[in-house]
Structure 1
Amino acid sequence: MLTQLLTWIPASAAPRLRAGLGGMPRAFWALWAGTLVNRVGTMVQPFFALYLTTDRGFSTAAAGTLLTVFAVGMLFSQLIAGWLADRFGRRATLLGGMLASAALMVAIAASSGLLAFGVELFALGLAIDVYRPASSALVADLVPERHRTRAYSLLFWAVNLGYTAGVLIGGALVGLGFGWLFRVDAATCAAFGLMVWFAVGEDTAPPAAGPRTSGFGAVLRDRVMCAFVLITGGYAFVYMQTVSTLPLAMRADGLSPAAFGTAMAVNGVVISIVQPLAVGRLGRADPNRVLTAGTVLVGLGFGLNALAASPLGYSATTVIWSLGEIAFTGASAATAVALAPPHLRGRYSGAYGFAWSLGGLPAPVAGAWLLDHGSSALWLTCAGIGLLAAVGQLLLGPAVARRTATAEPAPRPAD
C-alpha cells in the first residue's frame, strides 16, 4: 500500500498527509496505481491536433472535423460505459475499455485516409472514457461511504500527477516521432486494465429490485440527480474555459504562449501539493459545503481574470480556481454515487460524466463568442454561472442529505 511507502515521513511533519492516505483497502491502491500509470501514458490527446496537421498533413479544417468526431464519441462514452459497468461488472468494463483504447491507438498510428481516421477516432472517443464510470462505481463498491470523498480526491490527485508527467514526457517523445506517443499510450492503457483485472477481486453489482428501478430511466426519474447533473454541467462550462478561451484571452492581452504554460504549471503545482494535504479535511467536511465552496472559488477565480493582464495576475487567479477544483472534484464524484442505488452506481457515474460533456461541449463556442464581445463579458459570465451553480448546490444540499442519510450495505472488507 502507498501508506507503507510513506513511513519515512515523520508524523509531526505530515499529519495531514498520513490522515488523508490512511484507511483505504489494498484494492483501492491498485486502482489508484493503475490510474496513475494510465495518466502518465496520456500522450496522444494533447498532441492530436499537431499530429493530424503536421505528421499526417491534414488541413486545419479537416483536423478540426476529425477532433469533433472524436468529441462526439466521447459524448456517449460514459453513458454507455455506465450501463456496461452495471450489466457486466466494473472490472470487465474497465478492462474492455482499456484494451479497446490500446488497440485503437495502434490502429490510428498505422492508418491513412480521412475516412479511416474518422471511423477510428469516433471509436476511440467511445472507448477512451469507458474506464471513468467503471472506476467510479468500483470505488463505491470498495470504499465505505464515509471515506469516499477522500478516495475520489486521491484518484483526482493521481490523474493530475500522471497527466502532468505525461504531457512533459510526450513533449520530449514527439522529437523521436509521433509513433512513440501512440505506443506508450497504448501500453499504459493495457497495463491499467490488466492491473485492475488481476489486483482487484471479483466485483458484483446488487440485483435490481424491479423493472422501474433499473436502466437510465431510473436516473432520469431521479429529480435530485438530474438537478445535480445540471449544476455539474454549469461548473464544467466554466472550468473548460481553461483549454478553450483562457489561452486566447491571454494572447489578446499581449501575453505569449509561455505565460499560459506558466498558469497551467501553477495549476499542476497547487493540485500536487495541496490535494494530498487537504484530502483528509475535505473527507470529514459536509459535502454540500465543500461543493458550494468549490464552485464559488472556481467562479471567482475565472471572474477575476477580468482584472488580470500579466502572467503574475493570471497565475494568481489560477491559484484561486485550482483550490476550487480540488474541493469540487472529489466531493462531486462521491455525491453522484451516494445518490445511486448500489446496482445503478455505474449508470449514475455515467450520468455524472455526461454532465461534464453537457457543460464542456458548448464551452469553446460560447466562450469564443463571449470573448469576441470583450474579455470582461466572458469572465463575468463565468463568474455568474459559477455563482448560480453554487446557489443551486446550496439549495439542493438538504435533498441530497436526506437521500444519503439512510444506511447502505457494507462494502467489501478492506484488505
Structure 2
Amino acid sequence: MPYALRARRAVRETVSGLPREFWWLWTSTLVNRLGAFVATFMALYLTLDRGYSATYAGLVAALHGLGGVVSSLGGGVMTDRLGRRPTLLIAQSSTAASVALLGFVRDPVAIAGVAFLVGMASNASRPAVQAMMADIVRPEDRIRAFSLNYWAINLGFAVSSMAAGFIAEVSYRAGFLIEAGMTMVCAVLVFLRLPESKPTATVTEAAPRDDSVSLRTVLRDGPFMSVVGLSFLVALIFQQGAVGLPVAMGEAGFTPAEYGMAIAVNGVLIVVLQIPVTRFIEHRDPRRLLVVSSVLAGYGFALTAFAGSLGVIALTVCVWTLAEIVNAPTQTSLVVRLSPVHGRGRYQGMYTMSWSVAALVAPLLSGFVIDRFGAEWLWGLCAVVGTAAGVGYAVLMRRVSAGGQTEGVETEEEAETADGVRALAAGENRETRSGGTL
C-alpha cells in the first residue's frame, strides 16, 4: 500500500494545477493520435499493398515531409496573425479531407500529390498547439504540460498502432477513413471547447506588437537556430521508426501486424514511463539530458542491425524510446524558453520545420541507403548522427548557459503577459486554474 499511495500521490501532483483549456487541448491530441494511420503505415501501404519500390515509398514520404516544411512556417505565421484557434480549425479540417482523399487515389502521381497535401495540412497545426500550450500554462508547469501532451500522443499511438496493423491486413482504405473521421472530431473539440489564447496588446502596454517578430528575426537568433539544427539531427534518427524500420522489417519478411506490435512498444513504454521519468528529469541539467538522449537514440537504432527476431527488435525499440522520453519535453521546453511571447507562433513554426525537413530527408535517405547498401548501413548512420547531435548539444548548451540566456524561464514582463493571457482565456470561469480531469 505505501508504494500504491506514493504512486497515486505522484500522479496527482503531475496532473494537478493545470488549466481546463490545457486538458481540452490534451484531449484533442489524444483523439487525433488514436486515429493515426497514414504516417505509420504509408511505407507498408505503398510497398506491400500497392507494389511500389522502397525508393518510391521514400519519395512519397518525402513529399509528405515537404508539405510539412511549407506549412510549418506558414502555420507559425498564421498562429501569430490569425490566432491559435483559427489555425487549428483550418489545419485539422484540411487534414481530414486530404487523408480521406488519399484512401481513394490510385495513380502514382496523384498519390504523391495528395501525400504532399496531407503533410502540409497536418503539420500546420503543430505551431498553434505548442504556442497555445505555452500561453495557457504557467512557466514552471511547462515541462510537465509538454510531457503530459507527449504522453497523450503516445497513448493514442500505442492503441492505434496495434489496431491499425490488423486493419491494414483487411483494408488500408478503412484506415485512411478512420483517421479522417478522428481528425474531424478534433476540429469539433477545438471549435466547441477551446478559446483563443493569443496574447494581445491589451494584456500589457509594454508588450511588443505582433509583427515585431518576423521570420527574419527568428533566422538571426543564433542560439535558437542552433537548437533547430540539432533538433533536425535528432528528428532524422527518430523518423526511422516510421520510415526505415517498417521497410527493413518488410524486406526481412515481417508482416504489417508484426511491425505494428513492435512499434507499439514505443507508445506503450512512453505511456508507462513518461510521467515518472518527467518527475525525475524536471529539475535536472538540460544539457546532460539532451546529450545523453541524442546519443542513446542513435545507438538504440544502431542495435537494430543485430536484431533478427521480433522480440529483439522490440528490445531495440525500448532503447531508443527511453531517449525519446527524455528528449521530447526537454527540447520543447528549451524552445519555449528561447522564444519571445509575441513570436511564439513563428518560433514554434521554425522548430516544427526542423522535424518537417527531417520527415522530408529521412525517407529519401533511408530508401536510398536500404536499396543501395542494405539496412545495416542505415542503422550505423544513425549512430553517427546521434553522436554528432550529442556533441553539438554539449557545445551549444555550454555557450547558452555562459551567456545567461536560459537561466530564467521568462522575464517579469513575459510572466505578466502570460498571466494576462490565461485570464483572458479563462473569461468568467474562475475554475480553469484548478487541475484534475475534464
Normalising by structure 1, report the TM-score.
Answer: 0.85
Distance 2:118 2:347 in 1: 22
Residues 363 and 172 of structure 1, relative CA distance in 2, 3 Å threshold: closer
- How far has the Cα of 1:343 moved from its partner? 1.1
Residues 195 and 161 of structure 1, relative CA distance in 2, 3 Å threshold: same
Distance 1:248 1:179 in 2: 20
34-43 vs 169-178, which moves further: 169-178
Distance 2:241 2:357 in 1: 16
Which residue does 2:120 correspond to in 1?
Answer: 126
Q: Is the 8 A contact 1:82 1:347 kept in 2?
A: yes
SS in 1 for 2:326: helix
- Segments of 5+ residues of structure 2 without an aligned counterpart are 202-206, 424-432
Q: Is the 8 A contact 2:234 2:389 kept in 1?
A: yes
Residues 206 and 227 of structure 1, relative CA distance in 2, 3 Å threshold: farther
300-309 vs 203-212, which moves further: 203-212
SS in 2 for 1:361: helix
* 1:201-239 deviation digits (Å, cap 9, x = unpaired): 232234673798422111100001111111111111222
Task: Note the 1:169-188 alignment, pairs <5 A.
Answer: 169-173=163-167, 177-188=171-182
Asked whether 1:303 is paired with 2:302, we answer: yes
Q: Which amino acid aligns with 2:278?
A: V
Which residue does 1:215 correspond to in 2?
Answer: 214
Residues 280 and 103 of structure 1, relative CA distance in 2, 3 Å threshold: same
Q: Which amino acid aligns with 2:415?
A: P
- Counterpart of 1:409 (choices 412, 415, 433) is 415
Q: Is the 8 A contact 2:40 2:242 kept in 1?
A: no
Asked whether 1:256 is paired with 2:250, we answer: no
Task: Note the 1:70-85 alignment, pairs <5 A.
Answer: 70-85=64-79
206-215 vs 134-143, which moves further: 206-215
SS in 2 for 1:332: helix
Which residue does 1:198 correspond to in 2?
Answer: 192
Number of equivalent positions: 405
SS in 1 for 2:415: coil
Residues 28 and 390 of structure 1, relative CA distance in 2, 3 Å threshold: same
Residues 65 and 227 of structure 1, relative CA distance in 2, 3 Å threshold: closer
Task: Note the 1:62-211 alignment, pairs <5 A.
Answer: 66-109=60-103, 117-173=111-167, 177-206=171-200, 209=208
SS in 2 for 1:96: helix
Distance 2:374 2:292 in 1: 28
Distance 1:233 1:149 in 2: 21
Which residue does 1:352 correspond to in 2?
Answer: 351
Residues 230 and 165 of structure 1, relative CA distance in 2, 3 Å threshold: same
* 1:315-350 deviation digits (Å, cap 9, x = unpaired): 333222111100001111121122111111111111
Q: Is the 8 A contact 2:144 2:282 kept in 1?
A: yes
Which residue does 1:20 correspond to in 2?
Answer: 14
Residues 267 and 393 of structure 1, relative CA distance in 2, 3 Å threshold: same
Q: Is the 8 A contact 1:305 1:314 kept in 2?
A: yes
- How far has the Cα of 1:87 moved from its partner? 0.8
Residues 44 and 247 of structure 1, relative CA distance in 2, 3 Å threshold: closer
* 1:288-308 deviation digits (Å, cap 9, x = unpaired): 332222212212322334454
Q: Is the 8 A contact 1:297 1:320 kept in 2?
A: yes
Provide the identity percentage. Answer: 33
Distance 1:306 1:171 in 2: 23
